Amino acid sequence: MKNVLIATKNKGKAKEFESLFSPRGYEVHTLLDYENATDVEETGTTFAENAILKAETIAKELNQVVMADDSGLVVDALDGRPGVYSARYAGEDKNDEANTQKLLKELKDIPAEKRTARFYCVLALASPNQETITVSGYVEGRIAESPAGTNGFGYDPVFYVPEKGKTMAELESAEKNAISHRANALKELEKELDLFLTREGGSR
């Protein structure tokens, strides 16, 4: 069995990737399986830079295929913020509640039609044997005036999806996973994955 490392300590996130890699003969591992792997500092200014940085650094270090993602919230009225700083928008400690409150405060006087936003995700698949590939996915919505729903994390309670008439945190998990930015990025990855893994097999 060949291995692919998903550069995350989030088991739920790894499970999403499992359905892609397992049928192709790859066993999925996470950073929880590699205690000594470098904790890569996300110093990039774009989602793509951060995803590539994580994937390539760990792929080189462990000499294996590594999948990394970087994602966040992009708000038009805030010139794209919080963007790559989504997880630490209110400070160095990751605090969902504080981040959300800061966001709502900044949008306080912005009317509903100008509160457009999207969740954006970039996936990078790297190997020491070949060039890294990146794909992206997003889901459009707008920022609600107050949080609603409990089924989610991060900015989900204030990310309103017009076609569903609900915030992300009000959607059932299956419904959310079907339309999420990561799900859309995974669909893009699937289009390129077989070629990448074929090249990988041929380079050993």
Instruction: Please check if 2 is assigned to a binding site.
Output: no
Please state, in angstroms and as integers, the Cα–Cα distance from residue 144 to each residue in 88, 100, 148, following that order: 20, 11, 8
Give 50-77 pLDDT, tens digit per residue. Answer: 999 999 999 999 999 999 999 999 999 9
Rounded CA gap, 186 and 49, in Å? 18
Rounded CA gap, 168 and 156, in Å? 5
Cβ-count burial 5-36 (b if 16+ within 10 Å, e if not) = bbbbeeeeebebbeebbeeeebebbbbeeeee
- The matching CATH number, chosen from 3.90.950.10, 1.10.1510.10, 1.25.40.10, 3.40.1400.10, for 2-202 is 3.90.950.10
Cβ-count burial 61-79 (b if 16+ within 10 Å, e if not) = ebebbbbbbbbbbbbebbe
CB 119 within 8 A of CB 133: no
For residue 30, pLDDT over 60 is answered with: yes
> Among 33, 69, 70, 96, which one carries the catalytic annotation?
70
Residue-level pLDDT at 203 = 60
Rounded CA gap, 66 and 58, in Å? 7
For residues 31, 36, 41, 46, the Cα torsion angle rounded to the nearest 10 degrees is: -40
Residue-level pLDDT at 127 = 96
Instruction: Please check if 71 is assigned to a binding site.
Output: yes
Out of 75-89, 109-123, 187-201, pick the least confident. Answer: 187-201
Residue-level pLDDT at 92 = 82
Instruction: Please check if 181 is assigned to a binding site.
Output: yes
Is there a catalytic annotation at residue 39? no
Written as one letter, the residue type at 86 is: S
**pTM of the shown model:** 0.91
Give 111-154 pLDDT, tens digit per residue. Answer: 999 999 999 999 999 999 999 999 999 999 999 999 999 998 89
User: How much of the chain exceeds pLDDT 90, in percent?
Assistant: 76
Instruction: Please check if 182 is assigned to a binding site.
Output: yes
Instruction: Please check if 120 is assigned to a binding site.
Output: no
User: How much of the chain exceeds pLDDT 70, in percent?
Assistant: 98
Structure tokens at 1: 């069995």
For residue 22, pLDDT over 70 is answered with: yes
Rounded CA gap, 174 and 157, in Å? 16
Residue-level pLDDT at 150 = 93
Task: Place 1 in a pLDDT band, splitting at 50, 70 and 90.
Answer: low
List the domain boundaries for the chain.
2-202
For residue 204, pLDDT over 80 is answered with: no
**Average pLDDT score over residue span 152-181:** 94
Rounded CA gap, 166 and 107, in Å? 19
Rounded CA gap, 116 and 150, in Å? 22
